[in-house]
Amino acid sequence: MKALSVFIALLVLDFVWARYNIATTTKQAWRAGSYSVLIILLGAFSVISYTEDHWMLLPAAVGAFCGTWLAVKHD
């Protein structure tokens, strides 16, 4: 269950990072600022998760790839 939550957290985190980059590139300040809040919160959760259990890096890495892939395909 923990691996699934880390996978989902990183999937969403990388999706948000990609959307943040798109928002800053297109100068959408409000949207980029909102994404930055999510980046901090999701990033903190994910770091705490894989710091306690190094095996959580595997679902984190897969989630990160999937999140970025989805964000880029979404546009």
**Residue 15 domain flag:** yes
Number of domains, the chain: 1
Q: What is the CA radius of gyration of the chain?
A: 13
Residue 64 belongs to a domain: yes
Q: Going residue by residue through the chain (75 aa), what tens digit of pLDDT does each one get?
A: 888 988 998 899 999 999 999 999 999 999 999 999 999 998 888 888 777 788 888 998 999 999 999 988 876
Residue 43 belongs to some domain of the structure: yes
Instruction: Read off the tokens for 17.
Output: 């990072």
Residue 36 lies in a domain: yes
Domain that holds residue 14: 2-69
- Tell me what pLDDT residue 29 has: 95
pLDDT at position 13 is 92
| Residue 75 within any structural domain of the chain | no
Burial class (CB in 10 A: 0-12, 13-18, 19+), 75: exposed
Task: Return the pLDDT at 33.
Answer: 95
Q: Which two tokens stand for residue 30?
A: 């409000």
